[in-house]
Amino acid sequence: MSEWTIKKALEWTEGYLADKGDENPRLSAQWLLSEACGLSRTQLFVNFDRLLSEDERGVLRDYVRRRGAGEPLQYITGEVAFRHINVKVRPGVLIPRPETEVLVSEVLAALPTPGPRDVAWNPEAAEQEREAVAAVKKALEEAGESASLSVGGDLGRPSAANDDDADAAAEPSDAAEDSSVGGDLGRPSSAGMDETRKSLLVADLCTGSGCIACSLAYEHPDVRVIATDVAPEAVALAKENTEALGLADRVAVLQCSLGSGIGEKRMGTFDAVVSNPPYVPTAVMAGIPREVADFEPTLALDGGADGLDLFRPLAQWAARALKPGGVLACELYEGHMDAARAVAEQAGFVDVHIVDDLTGRPRVLVAKR
């Protein structure tokens, strides 16, 4: 094309991808052009006559070549929407699916709803606060400045220069396990007051991109998560997503197999264990779409002969890790849910039930400890 308008670029891309066997070439064309031009899909439709720059044309050509070769759109654009957040994705890590959003819903439904903080007066902290305010007033008087600070005013934060230090002291971040997220898990005290808010500890095993862990922490202010994955690529990406979403102080990511890297002192303290483990039976792997088989990691898909190779040790670990009444929720293969139920019950779980995914297929096992 000598003149690449958005309209012509969309038409050409759709036709090219249709010839390459794309199942939804129109949607793919819109996604790729939106990403190449930095426009939303709605903005594309109201700017049909806008010319593409040389840089945009070059980016689009590369995107179309990759999509024509079967590469998933999410890997090309580098992110995917999941529930109320957007997470980064890249080759080597499983792409989050809409079906997995049901898994998050089930965990949130099983956890206590966020409650108000219980606040209690702390006389010792209050005395320290009064002494600090008095010291500031004295310093200001000696410097010849007016001292208008009073208890209940700035409460010992006399200048903006000290804001960062005060914030750091008030909200210390949790480092990696085992000296970390599993540390105190409660919010620290404010001056003169003890604030306690029950933190809910969740383990997300086989976290992948971290979409489950991040969604739980994002949607429930009392949730703290220890997320694990055996693949270094997944661990690195999950950490990036926790940081990008501002959740690094409530989600710690560890590289280990299942819960093996979580210390013994955590056993019996978890409110929930959640996982989307590899669960596709090996025999079924041969029939999965080429787009998945050729680009997404087999390690994150193949669950062994019956798809339960990882679920068996996972259920045993969860039975030890959960506190009484805690919930186990796992996404599993639709054809082997009866076998999965038996595994959970043998591990000591009760109230085992199966939840359908968004397509109406049995997908999520939920059980109580």
Q: What is the pLDDT of residue 139?
A: 57
pLDDT in tens, 95-108: 999 999 999 999 99
> Between the CA of residue 291 and those of 237, 272, 300, what are the distances in Å?
21, 33, 15
What is the pLDDT, as a whole number, of residue 286?
A: 86
At 67, the pLDDT band (50, 70, 90 cuts) reads: very high
Per-residue pLDDT of 3-15, as tens digits, reads 889 999 999 999 9
- pLDDT value at 61 more than 90: yes
The residues, ordered by sequence, that sit 6+ positions from 296 with a Cβ below 8 Å of its Cβ are 72, 94, 95
* pLDDT-derived band at 132, boundaries 50, 70, 90: low
Question: Which has more pLDDT, 221 or 188?
Answer: 221
Distance (Å, whole) CA 126 – CA 152 = 11
The annotation status of 279 as a binding-site residue, yes or no, is yes
The verdict on whether residue 278 carries a ligand-binding annotation is yes
Q: How many CB atoms lie within 10 A of CB 325?
A: 9
From residue 190, give the alpha-carbon distance in Å to each of 6, 128, 154, 169, 174: 55, 12, 13, 10, 18
Query: Tens digits of per-residue pLDDT, 270-294?
Result: 999 999 999 999 999 988 887 888 8
Is residue 167 pLDDT above 60, yes or no?
Answer: no
- Give per-residue burial for 210-224: e unless 16+ CB within 10 Å, then b: bbbbbbbbbbbebbb
For the ranges 39-48, 52-61, 140-149, the lowest mean pLDDT is seen at: 140-149
Distance of CA 300 to the CA centre of its chain: 17
Q: Mean pLDDT over all residues of the chain? A: 83
At how many degrees (to 10) do helices 25-37 and 54-68 cross?
140
Tokens of 316: 């045993």
Mean pLDDT to the nearest integer, 330-346: 96
- Asked if pLDDT for residue 89 goes beyond 90, the answer is yes
pLDDT range class, residue 131, cuts 50, 70, 90: low
Name the more confident of 205 and 298: 205
pLDDT of residue 83: 95
User: 284-291: long-range contacts (C-beta < 8 A, 24 or more apart)?
Assistant: 284/333, 290/70, 291/70, 291/71, 291/72
The answer to whether residue 226 scores a pLDDT higher than 60 is yes
Q: What is the mean pLDDT of residues 37-63?
A: 93
CB 368 within 8 A of CB 326: yes
Cα dist. 218→15, 60, 322 in Å? Answer: 40, 33, 22
Residue 195, pLDDT > 80, answer no
- Residue pair 368/325 in contact (Cβ under 8 Å)? The answer is yes
| Predicted confidence (pLDDT) per residue in 137-152, tens digit | 565 565 554 333 333 3
Q: How far apart are CA 155 and CA 159, in angstroms?
A: 11
Q: Which residues contact 30 (CB under 8 A, 6 or more apart)?
A: 10, 41, 44
More confident residue, 286 or 75: 75
Q: What is the mean pLDDT of residues 245-256?
A: 97
pLDDT of residue 289: 85
Q: Which residue has the higher pLDDT, 322 or 157?
A: 322
Mean pLDDT calculated for residue range 17-41? 92
Confidence at residue 297, expressed as pLDDT on a 0 to 100 scale: 87
